[in-house]
Structure 1
């Protein structure tokens, strides 16, 4: 196994990455061993796939728990004491961080007391601190950054009952999906998912720890919007691996949403909900 591919796989396992940018080496590995699945420009890896990758790495005499470079687990400040180039480390600056906020007009509940954030802002906090200091009874995970940032402009979110903690799902660059999942695992609170209305979005929702509810407009509104959706994007996501997941959905809301999406054969980005305001 090439060192570069092994390093990518170790990163996926160590950070519990649910998705990782596609590359030729990674693609060849996934095809050879039948793990993960292609989703646009990324590969998706859920817990079972990551466990299989760990076994493959160990069988190839590579300990996935160790890093190829000694610097890779150090912060820039720590590396600067050992090297004249703090960028020798590949550890992200926001390692372990998640982006959180509350819904408009509802306070963010902390152990230190409730606070109100201005519209369009959020807190950048370590997920372990959040798990220890947040006092919300439920969680809302928002897939895409613009909807997370502009939650105050999404009328649909105003219909959500209670006062959930709002968490950005994460991406391959700044806030890692794995840390959001780690937070949800520690909180063990009911999770609502506000995601894209497409095959990948449904898969993302059902894969969230403690997932309980799916945020969507009425069937009439959703079908009207799907009529003008993106057929090409739907087709790109409609892979055999994705269909296997979608055809075995147990959650009633997700099954129903998938039936509507599949009926139209279109993908609808959640940002369309902003335009409804």
Structure 2
């Protein structure tokens, strides 16, 4: 019998935790119908010692461990299981995307690709924590992160700056947060000019700067872009967070944003002077 990761985990819970009852689920239904494990009770299922032993026997018969792999196991740890994905973390689970925004940043004494090369690296949290830098620059969106060297208006103040992608469907924000909190450098934020961008900047530890184009250009360009949706769709969620901030740059950006009632994605800032 070929079992999915979800089905294996269900049997392992029956074998280890020995629950007397479980709520309704497709996997519980499957094992009742196809293997006779458990019995119905209302909308859920009940399990006896016989049910628990049947779960153990089914795992053994399929050459499966009675206990799950330890949390954080890699796919190489799943040798002998039905799939390399069984009970293991996703390949990018411990990954952070970084690139050198300015100057020279080292990992293990070796320089990372220079900014003009337009290359980014995918590192583990531990590796990203070890990269040398004067400042950490958080970048919100993938396209901007990839083409950061084209944003000529960004002023890095002659410092060694490592840029970190804030997170998307592949690279997770909680891993980025782990890197930031394990380090001590001041943090810069380059986010969308909208309530979400300012609100997320408010939550960053050691926030030192928010990077936005000159206010005159930002004012005029945001008006022309007419992205009132970026303001209207986000303002209720973020207003109180932003207004509680005592960061002078966030307060100044908020005054402009709330007056315009429109936002501007960072991708549209690429040609700012």
Structure 1 residue 134: Cα displacement: 1.9
Distance 1:151 1:138 in 2: 16
Q: SS at the partner of 2:233?
A: helix
Counterpart position of 1:174: 170
After superposition, the C-alpha distances for 1:169-193 in whole angstroms (9 at most, x for unaligned) are 112x211111111111111110000
How much does 1:266 deviate? 0.6
| Residues 103, 157 of structure 1: 8 Å contact kept | no
Structure possessing the higher radius of gyration over alpha carbons: 2
CA distance, structure 1, for counterparts of residue 219 and residue 256 of structure 2 = 7
Deviation, 1:258, is: 1.0
Alignment TM-score, normalising by the size of structure 2: 0.69
Q: Could you tell me how far apart the structure 1 residues matched to 2:153 and 2:208 are?
A: 17
Partner in structure 2 of residue 85 of structure 1: 83
- Superposed, 1:95-134 pairs within 5 Å as 95-103=93-101, 106-117=103-114, 119-131=117-129, 133-134=130-131
Q: Counterparts in 2 of 1:138-157, with a 5 A limit?
A: 138-157=135-154
The CA deviation string for residues 106-146 of structure 1, in whole angstroms up to 9 with x for no partner, is: 22223413343463311111121222x32212111111111
197, 202, 211: which is aligned to 2:198? 202
CA distance in 1, matches of 2:80, 2:224: 56
CA distance in 2, matches of 1:166, 1:269: 18
Deviations 1:191-213 (A, max 9, x none): 00000000000011111122111
Given the superposition, is the C-alpha separation of residues 222 and 145 from structure 1 closer, same or farther in structure 2, using an over 3 Å criterion? same
Structure 2 segments unaligned to the other structure (5+ residues): 1-5, 7-66
Matches of 2:232 and 2:117, distance apart in 1 = 36
Of 184, 191, 204 in structure 1, the residue corresponding to residue 187 of structure 2 is 191
Is 2:223 the partner of 1:221? Answer: no
Aligned pairs (5 A) from 1:61-76: 70=68, 73-76=72-75
CA RMSD of aligned residues (A): 2.2
CA distance in 2, matches of 1:143, 1:214: 12
Distance 1:113 1:88 in 2: 36
- Kindly provide the CA deviation profile for residues 15-48 of structure 1, in whole angstroms up to 9, marking residues without a partner as x: xxxxxxxxxxxxxxxxxxxxxxxxxxxxxxxxxx
Can you list the C-alpha shifts for 1:87-124, whole angstroms capped at 9, x where unaligned?
334622112211111125x2222341334346331111
Q: Compute the displacement of 1:274 (Å).
A: 1.6
CA contact (8 A) 1:76 1:87 kept: yes
Q: Supply the distance in 2 between the matched residues of 1:92 and 1:73 (Cα, whole angstroms).
A: 9
Higher relative contact order (CA 8 A, sep 6+): 1
